[in-house]
Amino acid sequence: MYEELKKIEDELEGEEYFSGGLGYYFICDTVPITWKNVETIKEILIKNKVIGEDDNVELSKIEDPLSDFELISDKWHFSEDIKKGFIDILKEADGYYSYIPDGAYGCVWTIRRLLQKGEELVILEFYISD
C-alpha cells in the first residue's frame, strides 16, 4: 500500500495545483509499528514535527472514506488518474482514520489521515502552503 501511495506522491511532485500563491501538496509516510499503539504514533508525529507535545492524537474512524476523499480530491484538484489511484487503494484498505483535527499546523491548512491495511499504517498528509 505504501509503495502505491509513494508512486502517487512522486507523480504529483512538480504537478501540484497552485492558486493565489498557494500550493496544494500531498505526502505520505509509513509508520513502522502496529497501528493500535496511539502513543507510539504520537511519538513519531512529534519527532517528525507534525504535531506538538501538547497536541492530542485520537484515532477517529471515518465511516465513508470515499466521500471524505472525494472532498479532498476536489479541493486539491487531482486529475482523474490520480483520483482513481487513491480510490483503488482506499477500496482495499481495512481502515481510514482522522487522527488530529484538520486545520493550520505550521502551514496554511492541512488534512491528515491514517490508512490501515492489516498491520500496515500509512500517514497521508494533504497540505496547503504559501
Which tens digit of pLDDT belongs to each residue from 75-120?
999 999 999 999 999 999 998 988 765 555 556 778 889 898 988 8
- Whether residue 123 contacts residue 29, with contact meaning beta carbons closer than 8 Å, is answered with yes
Burial of 60 (0-12, 13-18, 19+ CB in 10 A): exposed
pLDDT at 64: 95
pLDDT at 4: 96
* Of 120 and 44, the one with more pLDDT: 120
Judged by DSSP in three states, 86 sits in: helix
- Whether residue 94 contacts residue 116, with contact meaning beta carbons closer than 8 Å, is answered with yes
The dihedrals phi and psi of 92, each to the nearest 5 degrees, come to -90, -10
Task: Examine the pLDDT at 26 and tell me if it is beyond 90.
Answer: yes
Which string of DSSP letters, residue by residue, matches 35-70? TT-HHHHHHHHHHTTSS-TT-----EE-S-HHHHHH
Distance of alpha carbon 82 from alpha carbon 98, whole angstroms: 21
pLDDT at 33: 61
